[in-house]
A and B are shown apart, each in its own frame.
Chain A
């Protein structure tokens, strides 16, 4: 007799569960929540759920950066439909790698409203990136660029810091970032991004972090690949890898933290560069005339 009761109880339980699952599956269609497209992969589907929970408020339903918070945010949230990303390890004009995007989600973007999403799990960020990539057809027709090669970091020396200072002047970084790296160069107040919105040049005295990371390698990557969509161009065509490290060391001297580079700058008695000396040279390549 007890066995029969048990069977009845179990079958009721199963029936209830089945119904529950069925209702949950149909909830999307009837409850007003957006339903997922059917051709999503498992990862994209999961990413969609996470996106609706964490990202939709700023980046919007369509991933166009027009979420309900967007009007109150500056710089504006990324428009994923354009597939143009600041933080890449790949050359300018190419798509970033998945790892680049996952890193941006994890790290957040300093001086913007994009927080760090480190509390999410790595597989969450993978799924989020998979979903974000469904917003632009570029991900179907193009492959991510080949990451630029970054040689091992050399030892910082006074010669390297000096060479970096020369580059800072020669490449005219100061036109936007200012002679002291305070983001107040002569061109700083007219800078606009690719959507013609005003944008600020980075102030090196602001803190320890850059938009795309805080390590020396991140800094190397930032100016070599450029920040696509922003006024920051790529320098990889005209700066050799060894010179790039020199520039990294010089830029470190502009920051507030006590680094080895900064100590060297103090010993050398480095002063803000002289802009007048920078543009007085004639073109080195006569073919361009």
Chain B
């Protein structure tokens, strides 16, 4: 009889602990309304972005005939905002928030012999779609160092590839060997992340309250970090300024 009581007591304790854990994890996701917002700017004159010669792919050359495409190593908007900067939380994120993988699948499109977007940020193990909108073949060749390298042909009209990366890596260079001017970057991080828009603005969503180290990565200028605190109901702000070399 006694042992039975003991067993029942232990069981109920276990159930309580489990319930508590569930509540805690719920709390974390409920606190997901927290945000970190800010802008990235470039100080100084942006380097000249050379126009791309697409004469080897007549279709793409014709497509961009009115407005020649340039390199995208440094893209600055009219207000001096720096585009295509990956912003992510590099320190301080609780494990529960870091291990949440978004279910939406971002699209990495090959269109007009360019990667759209040029820079994409995603979560570890988050699935994304590689599509080809061109009437020409592309080979998609990401060259990571912390993930396995692969290289797949995607002919015109082929079905999208549904792929993901298993390890954190900022950033993976992607190229097309058929069209050597095509290149882009994939940033694989844990937790909330964003890529700055044409005004240099970015917003990280679903950030639980806490103190964090934020890292901004730009393909030409490298990384910068900033400390930021997010309180309940009060979004954090962080601005970055990269210096033109």
Contacts and interface: CB of A to CB of B under 8 A. Distances in A.
Interface stretch (B41-49, B152-160, B207-215, B220-228): B152-160
Interface in A143-173: 170-172
A237 B156 contact: no
A234 B141 contact: no
B72 to A, nearest CB: 18
Given A175-B178, A282-B135, A238 B158 contact: yes
B99 interface: no
Contact of A194 (B143, B152, B155, B159): B143
A279 B178 contact: no
B156 A281 contact: yes
Interface string B180-191: 100000000000
A187 B136 CA distance: 13
Given A171-B153, A232-B151, A176 B158 contact: no
B131 interface: yes
Given A175-B137, A233-B152, A235-B153, A192 B159 contact: no
A194 B149 contact: yes
Interface of B: 56-59, 109, 131-137, 139-141, 143, 148-161, 177-180
A91 to B, nearest CB: 8
- 10 closest cross-chain pairs (CB), A and B: A284-B157, A93-B150, A231-B177, A233-B139, A172-B137, A233-B153, A190-B180, A285-B157, A92-B150, A93-B148
Given A187-B178, A231-B141, A283-B133, A288 B151 contact: no
A288 B180 contact: no
Contacts of A232: 151
Given A175-B137, A186-B56, A187-B180, A284 B156 contact: yes
The A interface is mostly helix, strand or loop, or mixed, namely loop
A96 B132 CA distance: 28
B132 A288 contact: yes
A246 interface: no
5 contacts: A172-B136, A226-B151, A231-B151, A284-B156, A288-B133
B158 A237 contact: yes
Nearest to A186: B56
Contacts of A228: 149-151
A230 B161 CA distance: 20
B177 A187 contact: yes
Given A93-B150, A232-B151, A288 B160 contact: yes
Contacts of A176: 177-178
A39 interface: no
Nearest to A145: B148
